[in-house]
Amino acid sequence: MDKKTLEKIKETLLFEKEKLTKELNSFAEKNEKIENEYDAKFPNYGDHEDDNASEVADFESDLYLEKTHEQSLKKIDQALLRIKNKTYGICENCGKKIPTERCLAFPTASKCMECKKRAI
């Protein structure tokens, strides 16, 4: 992969990371002890029964979003690490090159299509 493409992918990853971090910060608190771990805050809308019900409902969807965002952040960090270690674009399973088009479409991809298919 040429340097320019790699730079572009790195930019995409960093942009995505910032976006996810911002979103997480809006409803969750960063866990200071563990990297890329967040704890969803329990919302407080009021003390009515209706308020309490929507608090619980929103908290549950926040928890779900928190988990998926965390996973995405971890994948982004792993991809950034692979760029740093110059192993980016190489399938972690079979060692073959991942096509550039696939890397551009899925910057966090760590496996080639064949291995990905086999994993599912």
Place of tokens 């809006």: 26
**109 touching Zn ion, by CB under 5 A:** no
**Residue 91 Cβ, how far from Zn ion at the closest point, in Å?**
3
**90 touching Zn ion, by CB under 5 A:** no
**93 touching Zn ion, by CB under 5 A:** yes
**104 touching Zn ion, by CB under 5 A:** no
- Angstrom distance (rounded) from CA 83 to CA 13: 11
**Residue 89 Cβ, how far from Zn ion at the closest point, in Å?**
12
Sign of CA dihedral 66, 74, 18, 91: negative
Sign of CA dihedral 46, 49, 54, 56: positive
Sign of CA dihedral 38, 44, 45, 49: positive
Question: Tokens standing for 114?
Answer: 């064949």
**57 touching Zn ion, by CB under 5 A:** no
**98 touching Zn ion, by CB under 5 A:** no
User: Which member of 10, 91, 102, 106 binds Zn ion (CB under 5 A)?
Assistant: 91
**Residue 98 Cβ, how far from Zn ion at the closest point, in Å?**
8
Question: Could you list the residues that contact Zn ion (CB under 5 A)?
Answer: 91, 93-94, 112, 115
